[in-house]
Structure 1
């Protein structure tokens, strides 16, 4: 059955896992050509819904099963009275099995098929049926030139299963990728459709399970789970007799000279996300501003780590790093935090100092690196992190025995036990300073209210991303503090305080 974007399944698979599901369907009695026909019909229906006034189709086909889908869509379009051409970038003589049968059906139907060359003219809606999910290496010629021509055409583009050139496992562009307006994908959702460069090239996503029986998916290995309103972890309701001591005491440590705003954003986020009490340890010169902005917080001016010791015995959760700096002051405070037996969130400069190996991460931690910080923590380049974000998230979680939030388009949450969650919500307006500080404070508040590290990280990322999507509708100029009231509202809608 088809699914709209809001009804997409939670499970995300690798390309190999989806091929395994496909093989299971065939082994259970559904012929491969029937599955190809179902995929073509699903693509055709989605294409017509998306462009109801279109009447011309240019199918650009390779030489695999993806091309077979394209040939069958061409047949459906011709039967509907559209002007149709297939531009064969892959030699039809190399087609095998079901794809060869699809080509034969297109020939029998009288579909115009011509070899691709640099002078081919694309017209109408362009259907990308070039490379599919099996691609792992860089796109080679002639496909690179074909993809460049599709992208330069300015025409509406639909992709079969996945935009050609996008890695189904990692979301990395393999040199170049088709920029689709619509992608119709089948059987199981591919992880690469939701992270990395996916947001730039997938367009609107339509999923069809090709009538796979539910038992097909029982016991199937899953790479990750999408976070949705329906499956995001929830805080429990509060008893009428609750008091501030019931919901933890978060201490935020940071705000070196010149970075006082970062720690205040984190503190405000923790307060508004339900922490029972919030304290801030920062530079003494930031205390007046902090008290003026956050009279509900307890603010302590700190000049040395010794002044933290008494406070560390009174709190339940630490958030360390926003505005911490990498000087002697920040290093000494981070060292004190590292020795405290408390659940902690490490962000920003705490991660940069951790990467220098001068301090050890305590147990029960959540770390929140962006790709650059992740690269320093792993000792690789940022490009290598972005080339395989899921692998980087797992590697960080294993190396530091921590829950990892790898930020960016398609944020990933990895647990040391191997679980991986993905949040693909958000908005480009979130490309603004301070949003990471808000996220760190939010994670700390959820930990303080009794959530375990993985659930707190998942819920925090979901709230943060959806608040950003909501506020992003107003366009450019999104400030980090804009998210805080939106997070509070979403949290209440998702898990009411009083039931």
Structure 2
């Protein structure tokens, strides 16, 4: 139920082996172009003209073949190349000749080129890009974006790095990306969601998972997991069967985050939810959600008494980094219970516990917190989010949820990408709600890694459902709980 994701070099090796197995390379290129053509036609059936922007390699070759298919179907085709046709070689040259034989004209790109098609096909760079786009290609990408027309990107939007999802200064903003043979991890995280549009994966008959010596780099979560994971409860179930979760947070003056986490945990089905918070927040907790058992905590000794009763401890929401937060986190770290550490809990770990690691915890950093934990810059984290998540998991153990567009979950069994979520989640409290959901599922299920997968996915899907009904702007973290409840009762 999980789709494997690969790095660019792995997909090139799959391509090479497919050709070595008896499929002609040019035939495979034609198959890819035909798939891209069908993807184009299914989305824009009324379009009568298109512009195909072709680079110099096999990605450009796909574009030339697609241009021929479009001409044969009666469309008006503008073919623009960034390399003279007589300088092409191999399958790319054969593809260009095929388009010319089909009657497709060709013009070399110039800064004065006018793009005439109703839809633009991006076949410029492909998956081989690793550095920043420069020169003519950069200007051509800027021209595509400035045209403000729908774009179909072939294999990957030009300017996006297939292994990391980082945009190298400039990248094509596509309405749809049709990708081949093996799906790429860089299409789902980092900058990628701002550029890929809808992703249409076409394996071209290649069964990537049959090559056991080419293991997937990561796996893409799918909401089909929910039905089996949230089967109906036994009719004899009681609250003691559903786990006891403790939220530790809400330093003086910072009560909201811990309240959000507690209520989210209750809505996710935890049997009992306790809250250890500063005395002044107790009344607010009772008013907001009387089902949460709120405890007034003035220091570490009182907090330690509560951890002994819990199956799972969530520590960090509204914790602060002053003496109260330090004492509460220290009491949580002394507990043997599985932990979820979030927000200032992570900042305190980076500052005061730089070497501690555990197998039974989930760390939930956003890029800034991840940078502090790794001792690097935010830019370095975002430049290669998969590597950052895995490095942090190796250093700290357990499971790491690196939040952001295309959240990544790094655990003992590998790397998982969550393809859900939307920009409406860019508001305060979303991470607190996630921490509550993580703790609630750990308390009910008794596992760490799979609970992290499920909670991260439910959190993002709940936000998507809320945005579909009411829009992205104005989406509040507290809106997610009711949608999450529906998702966990399929």
Whether contact under 8 Å (1:393, 1:405) holds in the other structure is: yes
**Worse-matched range after superposition: 480-489 or 201-210:** 201-210
1:295-329 alpha-carbon deviations (Å, 9 max, x no partner): 11211111110112222221111000000001011
What residue in structure 1 maps to residue 405 of structure 2? 409
What residue in structure 1 maps to residue 193 of structure 2? 199
Match of 2:443 among 444, 448, 453: 448
TM-superposed CA distance for 1:434, in Å, is 0.6
TM-superposed CA distance for 1:291, in Å, is 1.4
Whether contact under 8 Å (1:60, 1:128) holds in the other structure is: yes
Residue correspondence of structure 1 range 100-499 to structure 2 within 5 A: 100-124=93-117, 125-213=119-207, 216-218=210-212, 220-231=214-225, 234-235=229-230, 237-358=232-353, 360-415=356-411, 417-473=412-468, 474-475=470-471, 476-493=473-490
Rounded Cα–Cα distance in structure 1 between residues aligned with 2:317 and 2:243 = 20
1:337-369 alpha-carbon deviations (Å, 9 max, x no partner): 111111000000000111113463444000111
**Secondary structure of 1:189's aligned partner:** coil
> Quick one: structure 1 residues 338 and 361, their matched pair in 2 at CA, closer, same or farther if it must change by over 3 Å?
farther
Rounded Cα–Cα distance in structure 1 between residues aligned with 2:345 and 2:209 = 46
Whether contact under 8 Å (1:9, 1:189) holds in the other structure is: no
> Quick one: structure 1 residues 95 and 446, their matched pair in 2 at CA, closer, same or farther if it must change by over 3 Å?
same
Q: Normalised by the size of structure 2, how large is the TM-score?
A: 0.96
> Quick one: structure 1 residues 49 and 241, their matched pair in 2 at CA, closer, same or farther if it must change by over 3 Å?
closer
**Secondary structure of 2:489's aligned partner:** helix
**Worse-matched range after superposition: 422-431 or 353-362:** 353-362
> Quick one: structure 1 residues 462 and 61, their matched pair in 2 at CA, closer, same or farther if it must change by over 3 Å?
same
TM-superposed CA distance for 1:155, in Å, is 1.8
1:13-58 alpha-carbon deviations (Å, 9 max, x no partner): 1111111111121121111101100111111111122111211121
Instruction: Say how many residue pairs are matched.
Output: 485
Q: Please, which runs of 5 or more residues in structure 2 have no aligned partner? A: none
1:259-298 alpha-carbon deviations (Å, 9 max, x no partner): 1010011000111111111111100011111112221121
Rounded Cα–Cα distance in structure 2 between residues aligned with 1:234 and 1:87 = 50
Whether contact under 8 Å (2:230, 2:489) holds in the other structure is: no
1:368-408 alpha-carbon deviations (Å, 9 max, x no partner): 11111111111111111111111111011001012000111
Whether contact under 8 Å (1:59, 1:84) holds in the other structure is: yes
What residue in structure 1 maps to residue 77 of structure 2? 84
**Secondary structure of 1:159's aligned partner:** strand
Whether contact under 8 Å (2:181, 2:208) holds in the other structure is: no
Whether contact under 8 Å (2:2, 2:222) holds in the other structure is: no
Whether contact under 8 Å (2:182, 2:208) holds in the other structure is: no
Rounded Cα–Cα distance in structure 2 between residues aligned with 1:96 and 1:201 = 30
TM-superposed CA distance for 1:219, in Å, is 5.1
**Secondary structure of 2:121's aligned partner:** strand
Whether contact under 8 Å (2:209, 2:215) holds in the other structure is: no
Rounded Cα–Cα distance in structure 1 between residues aligned with 2:4 and 2:353 = 39
1:400-455 alpha-carbon deviations (Å, 9 max, x no partner): 0120001111011001x251111111121111111111110111011111241110
1:146-183 alpha-carbon deviations (Å, 9 max, x no partner): 00011001122111111000111111001110011121
> Quick one: structure 1 residues 9 and 34, their matched pair in 2 at CA, closer, same or farther if it must change by over 3 Å?
farther
Rounded Cα–Cα distance in structure 2 between residues aligned with 1:260 and 1:63 = 58
**Secondary structure of 2:78's aligned partner:** strand
Q: Normalised by the size of structure 1, how large is the TM-score?
A: 0.94
**Worse-matched range after superposition: 78-87 or 178-187:** 78-87
Rounded Cα–Cα distance in structure 2 between residues aligned with 1:361 and 1:289 = 34
**Worse-matched range after superposition: 150-159 or 207-216:** 207-216
**Secondary structure of 1:158's aligned partner:** strand
1:170-209 alpha-carbon deviations (Å, 9 max, x no partner): 1100111001112111111111111111111111221211
TM-superposed CA distance for 1:235, in Å, is 4.4
TM-superposed CA distance for 1:216, in Å, is 4.2
What residue in structure 2 maps to residue 63 of structure 1? 56
